[in-house]
Amino acid sequence: MGYVKTGILMAAMTGLFLGMGYILGGATGALIALAVAAGMNAFAWWNSDTMVLRMHNAREVDAHTAPELQKLVMDLARNADMPTPKVYIIQNDQPNAFATGRNPDNAAVAATTGLLERLSSEEVAAVMAHELAHIRNYDTLTMTVTATFAGAISMLANFAMFFGGNRNRQNPIAMIAMMILAPLAAALVQMAISRSREYEADRIGAEICGNPLWLASALQRIQGFASQIDNASAERNPASAHMFIINPLHAFKRDKLFSTHPATENRVKALEKMAAEMGVQSAPSRSRRPDRSGPWS
């Protein structure tokens, strides 16, 4: 059902974008809008991973600079039957992580130093498995496309505000509605897609790591820390917030309708139900790694 819902929402986003193009310029405007969207998506598809990693000052690591983390990701990727992505570490005390890349062969996972230092080994494994699930599901591509569409819709709305639509077709009420409601609708669709993909990544990530309770525990602990610890790079680049496993922004309270992530308690309940169905009862240990300054970083 997650894939069906995502497909319907993506179709709605595409239809909204083409509809705006038609209101602005008729059939020609719709075709131009489609061409612009294709160009923007091609650029984002090719460059989004580099851009977002640079935004958060991510540092690539390997078997020499972070052997424990590298081995963990390799083992999880083997469990998921997928290529091992590049691994990055972000110097940030807030526990969090994200995945990026256009496909499983060109992907990366990034974890903050806060995640590696504050969570247990089992919880870190569950978080990395969740990010691998995003890559395997092509969620990184899906969310790049939806974010690009949302930005393009806002661009068209601004264009309509300053230049107006086709004078022969222009309807003042339709134009005003488009300028105000279309960007809002696009944002809502984008956030709904993001929430849907998080649930699916939770499910598949739990399968990859083998224990849904590890991920449930990790989500609860990350949520607790994220509500108290600033993530400066995410606050500077709020458009990237949907990529993280838990919303890194906490400066302003946001209504659930405008949330990029499902409620953590709902995600935990779904994972606990999954654990019961699998007959899994062991929760992760609460102890941190014995050597906090060693192989993770």
12 burial (CB, 10 Å; 0-12 / 13-18 / 19+) is middle
Two tokens, residue 144: 């790049």
Establish whether 131 is a catalytic residue. yes
Amino acid at 135: I
Contacts of 232 (CB under 8 A, 6+ apart): 92
| Greatest Cα-to-Cα distance within the chain, rounded to the nearest angstrom | 72
- Give the H or E element holding residue 77: helix 67-79
Lookup: tokens for 269 = 């309940």
Angle of CA points 222, 199, 275, to nearest 5°: 80
Answer for the pair 113, 93: CB distance below 8 angstroms, yes or no. yes
Q: Which residues touch 237 (CB under 8 Å, ≥6 apart)?
A: 55, 56
Q: At CA 85, angle to CA 110 and CA 73, rounded to 5? A: 75
* Sheet order of strands, 86-90 included: 59-61, 86-90, 106-112, 97-103
Per the residue annotation, which of 131, 198, 235, 277 is the catalytic one? Answer: 131
| Cα separation, 259 vs 247, whole angstroms | 8
Structure tokens at 14: 């595409």
Residues with a known catalytic role: 131
